Amino acid sequence: MQLGIFTVGDVTPDPTNGTTPTEYEKIKNTIILAKKAEEIGLDVFATAEHHNPPFASPGNPPILLSAIAAQTEKLIVSTATTLITTNDPVRLAEDYAYLQHVSDGRMDLMLGRGNTGPVYPWFGKDIRDGIPLAIENYDLLHRLWREDVVNWEGKYRTPLQGFTSTPRPLDGVPPFVWHGSIRSPEIAEQAAYYGNGFFANHIFWPASHTEQMVRLYRQRFEHYGHGDADQAIVGLGGQFFMRRNSQDAVREYRPYFDVSPVYGHGPSLEDFSSQTPLTVGSPQQVLERTLGFRDYVGDYQRQLFLVDHSGLPIKTVLEQMDLLGEILPDLRAGFAEGRPAHIPDAPTHGARVAAAGGAHDATVYAGADAATGSRAEDAR
Amino acid sequence: MTRHLVVVSAGLSSPSSTRILADQLAAAVEERLVGRGEDVRIEVIELREHARALADNLLTGFPSGALAQAVQAVAQADAVIAVTPVFSASYSGLFKTFFDVLEPGALEGKPVLMGATAGTARHSLVLEHALRPLFSYLKATPVPTGVFAASEDFGSNGASEQGSRLAARVDRAAAELVALLDGPSARADVPPARKLQGSTEFDPEAADFVSFDQLLGG
């Protein structure tokens, strides 16, 4: 079981005092937060990708993730999510393979479609093609990491003739991919088809919805022959605000919740807490609620929490991390309790290399002409 | 066979004329169905009770608690009776919001009987310029007759001209809804809209012929 945090990188005013961090502060705080994640013993840090204010998450996550990988030793860096719709799959293949080398395999990535319509035309795409883009682009990405020379033609980008994406995956094993979704069953189906991980956003919608999505993914994972349904690779989001005394947590968090960019001005903190996995209370309450997620998705592989959003100051966020660190041993023990032996662990680079029969270097050494089998003048 | 009828009322006061019209429509449909030996289950959704949850739904993207049940009830209904007060020349925002948060396709092919209420009959075409396009867009099957009731319809009793006209519209709309439940060809029970062929208007011996004495003397 991997435990970690994910950030949306929103630059939101602190509603209690009106101060807003600069982009510089938010970006540096994000790196501080990632290092803190390693310090308290978490396994994963994942960043969102955004292309518009009020976000200071990177437009190209590997830039941030490389910096974090350079300043940590054990932490797995990932995305939550990187956009499989508007990014060129060739760039994704190159950038994340490069990150794989830079981080010595301490990385994976989660793909999403993006949560805002306007982003599509900024990159020459149409939101109505969201699902077809996610399907075609990932299929190409999948091939670029598994075939040294790719000939490809599709609908949404220029064709590739004899193309080799570099660098080749570290140790000959492509990065592990999660497919993230709030509500699209097509994405659960896509994850199942490839035997990739499925990450349910979980934090915005009722548990009953997540339960349905994960069940579909598990059924289809088995259908496509990747293993039994309970061996599918499942991740969940979560969010909490903790204080030692639960009333203090509610009192302190409410002003942030009430004007939160996503659900603010809507349901009450109490209603939203009962309708979604949000837990505002004592560390013990967060521990118990989190361990309860298994009741409706089964034993799973990755739990990521959102901790640094809605204008919460970095000092408070780091205090939340300290409290998370305190319950971490109990979380790990709780998740391990009663977990059947045939349930796989979350994929890591090391485990995937071992499963592939050991590391083999996949470098394509040949010059460009020999690698692609053609010369520039042949294209005329 | 039990027919599941869901009534959506967007009236805000209690008692509300919107709810009264909704109840009349539901009762008329029930009477016709029960009259031919069918069981009817009527579920009334008062949107007022879901006002906050509807606003929340706009922001969170999911219906909570009782609203989730209401949304599901509409999706599973055999037919829907939808009645709104007229606000600013159209359906109320609350009414629209409820249909905004239904899952796409929830009303597809479903017979919908439309009703509207207002203080004055000058709003009566709201059924045609606002509600019918809404339900057409949602791919529902709105019955041909929508029922509009103004204060003057409620202000008169059932025996009066206004009252009986409302009752006749309610009955006609109910018959059309039942015909839609039976399928597109079952129109036998729908009363004719206007007596043209075989009219008694020109027959001075007919019971409903109004003589000039009556016209003059009242």
Q: How confident is the model over B122-138, as pLDDT tens digits?
A: 999 999 999 999 999 99
**Is the pLDDT confidence value at A366 over 90?**
no
Residues in B touching A205 (Cβ below 8 Å): 60-62
Is the pLDDT at A107 greater than 80? The verdict is: yes
With a CB cutoff of 8 Å and minimum separation 6, the contacts of A323 are A242, A243, A244, A283
Query: A209: nearest CA in chain B?
Result: B62
The yes-or-no verdict on residue B218 having pLDDT over 70 is no
> From the centroid of its chain, how far is CA A222?
23
- Please report, for chain B, the start and end positions of each structural domain, with discontinuous segments joined by +: 2-192
pTM of the predicted model over 0.90:
no
pLDDT higher than threshold 90 for residue A279 = yes
Contact flag B62-A206 (C-beta cutoff 8 Å) = yes
pLDDT in tens, A296-348: 999 999 999 999 999 999 999 999 999 999 999 999 999 999 999 999 999 99
Report the CATH fold assignment for B2-192: Rossmann fold (3.40.50)
DSSP assignment of A22-53 equals -HHHHHHHHHHHHHHHHHTT--EEEE----ST
- How would DSSP label each residue in A222-287? HHTTSS-GGGS-EEEEEEEEE-SSHHHHHHHHHHHHHT-TTTTTSS-HHHHHHHSS-EEE-HHHHH
Residue B193: its pLDDT value, please? Answer: 58
The answer on pLDDT for B80 being more than 70 is: yes
Across the interface, of A204, A264, A271, the residue whose CB is closest to B64 is A271
Contact A266 B58 (CB under 8 A): yes
* More confidently predicted of A212 and B193: A212
pLDDT band for A377, please (50, 70, 90 cuts): low
How far is residue A118's CA from residue A127's CA, in Å, rounded to a whole number? Answer: 8
What confidence category does residue A380 fall into, taking pLDDT thresholds of 50, 70 and 90?
Answer: very low
What does the pLDDT average to over B107-134? Answer: 96
Determine, for residues A205 and B62 on separate chains, whether the beta-carbon distance falls below 8 Å: yes
Q: d(Cα A14, Cα A21) in Å, to the nearest integer?
A: 9
Does residue A202 surpass a pLDDT of 80?
A: yes
Question: Is A206's CB within 8 Å of B61's CB?
Answer: no
Instruction: With a cut of 50, say whether residue B113 has pLDDT above it.
Output: yes
Please state, in angstroms and rounded to a whole number, the distance separating the CA atoms of residues A213 and A173.
28
Is the N-terminal amide bond of A61 cis, ω within 30° of 0?
no
CATH architecture assigned to A2-379? Alpha-Beta Barrel (3.20)
Are A275 and B64 a contacting pair at CB < 8 A?
Answer: yes
Give the mean model confidence (pLDDT) for residues B37-56. Answer: 96
- Going by pLDDT thresholds of 50, 70 and 90, the confidence category of residue B194 is low
Tokens 């349904």 found at: A229
Peptide bond into A81 cis (omega under 30): yes
Confidence of residue A17 (pLDDT cuts 50, 70, 90): very high
What residues does each domain of chain A span?
A: 2-379
* Cβ within 8 Å, pair B55-A263: no
| A contacts of B62 (beta carbons < 8 Å) | 204-206, 209, 275
A197 close to A234: Cβ distance less than 8 angstroms:
yes
Q: Judge whether residue B19 has pLDDT over 80.
A: yes
**pLDDT grade, residue B164 (50/70/90)?**
confident
Cα distance between residue A179 and residue A198, in whole Å: 5
Which pLDDT belongs to residue B211?
73
Sign of CA dihedral B59, B65, B66, B69: positive
- Measure CB to CB from residue A204 to each of B58, B60, B64 and give the nearest one: B60
Over chain A, what is the mean pLDDT? Answer: 94
- State the complex-level ipTM: 0.75
If residue B141 lies in a helix (H) or strand (E), which one and from where to where?
A: strand B141-142
Collapsing DSSP states into helix, strand and coil, what is residue B40? strand
Chain A within 8 Å of B13 (Cβ-Cβ)? no
pLDDT of the residue at B184: 60
Does B1 touch chain A if contact means CB atoms closer than 8 Å? no
Mean pLDDT in residue range A26-45 = 98
Q: Does B59 touch chain A (CB under 8 A)?
A: yes
Can you give the pLDDT at residue A175? 98
